Structure formats: C-alpha cells, structure tokens
Amino acid sequence: MAEETNGLGLHGTGNSGIMGLSFPAEAAISDTTGRTVVENLFSAFNDTSRRFFAFKLGRDQTSSSFTIGELDPTFANATDDMTYNSVFASGGALYDYWKLPLQSLTVNGTSFGLSKSRIDGAPAPIAVLDTGTTLVLGPSQDVARFWASVGDARKTDRGWEVLCNRAVVVGMVLGEGAAQKEYTVDPADISWKEGSVDDVWCLGGVQSNDGVYSADWLLGDTFLRNVYVTHHAANDTQPPKIGLRGLTDPSAALAAFIADRGADSGSPAQVRSQADHTNSLTGGDICGIATASGFVAGAVILVLVFTLTGYRRKY
C-alpha cells in the first residue's frame, strides 16, 4: 500500500492511494516485515476456492467493479462463465506478475503473428495484465507492423497515432491449449479518442515499448476494459490462475464506433500476418549461441596448437 505518491494526479481524480496486488516476490514489503495486502485479503477465507479477486474496468467513473472472494453478477454468474489459465512463471522462478501467454493478435479477423518471446522457457510471447498501464505496450517491430496492418496510422513524437474514424476490430488470443481464446478489443480502445489533439488523429491504443523486462507485452486499460478478470491464489492442488471472460461484442462495438466517429472512408490495409523473427533472441538463444561459439573457438584454437606443434617438429 502506497502512503505517498508524486506526479500521478490522484487528487484530481478523487483517488487517495494505490493498492498493489501482484505476487509477494514483487512487493515492497519484505518477508520479515509482514504479509502483503493480497496475502492478508486471501487469508480471511478458509474456503480456498474463494481466495481470488476480480475486477472490471469501466469506461467512466461509475461502471467499474472490484470484488474479493465473490463474482460480480453483472459480469459473471458463476465461475464456469470464466476461461482459466495458469499464471506463467519462468522455470524455477517465483511468480511475480499476473502473466499469460499471448499467442497472437487478430486484425479484422485475420491472424497477426507475434515475434518470439524474450522470456526463457516461454511457450509464446508473455503478457502481463496491468491495470497500472493505460495502453497496450509491445515490442516496437510488432507494433510498427500492427499499425501498418491497420492503415491510416503514423508515428509521431508522442507515439503512434491513427485517424479517429479508422474502424478496426482487434482481438487478443490468450492462453494455452483448450483454454486458448480470442478476446475482442473495442475499436474505440484502438483509436483512443481521449488522446486526440484535433479530433482527426487519435492516440493509438497500442504503443511501442522495448523496455518491458518482466514480459513481452503489457495489456493495460485499453485491453482490460473489454474483459472481466479473476485472479486466483495457488492451493495444494493447482498453481495460481487467471480467469477471463470477454465482454465486447465485435459487431455491436463496431456499429457503435461508426455511429460515434463517422464512416471510415479509408481503404482497407493488407494485414502483415508474418512476424519477423530475425532479431528476436531469448536468453536461452544467446546462451546457446555463446556456448556454440565457445566450442567452435576452442576447436579452432586446438587446431592451431596442433598445427603449430607439428610445424615446429617438422622444422
């Protein structure tokens, strides 16, 4: 729990503080000081199935929801309404943030591949669900290709901008195996009107950031407004998990967007589906290259030694 903040504008929004609900490994509270907020909240429930918190981010000051130990029936009536995936953690590492594999995106129904993950042991690019981030942030080469696929976008000093009436339906394919599912993002979250400077160019809801070290992508508010999310503690039989339920209907969202912004007169862009993997090296890749290079260098040195030795013996 933060007791003091600076430069966050909390006073102007009527908020009085920040509550962090990530795993203990990332908490500012040391193990010797006490338990984290989320550990204390969960400890109130003897029934381990109730050790979860859930939220829905609203589009205004009154439509958000946050509950502990129970679902908000406005968004889900039972746990069976959710799709669950285990939280990702690198092999042997502690859980730190609420992470899921992000398999791909879709742009107007066409699959959009992503660059290889930089996280060791990751089956796919890894995304953190982060209410503290306003936009969706990802690797610059993927984001540049994404906006080329959307069309009518430009890179400026403040980031990627897109024409405010550019109508595009984007999906995020999250999870693994049978629990892998696509979650639709409202077009209004891709062409972010709140970030408009002239009602012609809007700030893009997806931006570049190559400085994300805990994962490959951060899925901030422009994604999270489209889903209902539950976060479950580990128990004796299963690891921590995340439940998701998509709340955005693509057809209805697109119709509402066009009614608000006007018709999109631009030509459809060609979706650049194939990711460029040429510059995507994980830590494991680098170690492998270093090991192989060391082996080759060692072999070359041995050959030189034997060659020089033979040369001296001959003469």
pLDDT tens digits, residue range 1-50? 455 666 666 656 666 556 666 665 556 666 667 777 777 787 888 888 89
pLDDT, position 12? 63
At 102-131, the pLDDT tens digits run 999 999 999 999 999 999 889 999 999 999
Are 183 and 106 in contact by the 8 Å Cβ rule? The answer is: no
For the chain, list the strands marked E by DSSP: 52-56, 65-68, 83-86, 99-107, 110-112, 126-129, 136-138, 153-156, 159-163, 170-174, 181-185, 191-192, 201-204, 206-208, 217-219, 227-232, 241-246
* Average pLDDT of the segment spanning 248-261: 97
Count the alpha carbons within 13 Å of 291 in the hemisphere toward its beta carbon: 6
CA dihedral 199, 201, 202, 203 (to 10 degrees): -140
User: What is the domain partition of the chain in residue ranges?
Assistant: 1-44, 54-278, 281-315
Q: At a CB cut-off of 8 Å and minimum separation 6, what does 246 contact? A: 181, 182, 183, 184, 226, 227
pTM recorded for the entire structure = 0.81
Would you call 312 helix, strand, or coil by DSSP?
helix
**Which CATH fold topology does 54-278 show?**
Cathepsin D, subunit A; domain 1 (2.40.70)
DSSP 169-188: -EEEEESSGGG-EEEEE-HH
Strand 217-219 vs strand 136-138: parallel, antiparallel, or unpaired? antiparallel
At 135-180, the pLDDT tens digits run 999 999 999 999 999 999 999 999 999 999 999 999 999 999 999 9
Are 76 and 82 in contact by the 8 Å Cβ rule? The answer is: yes
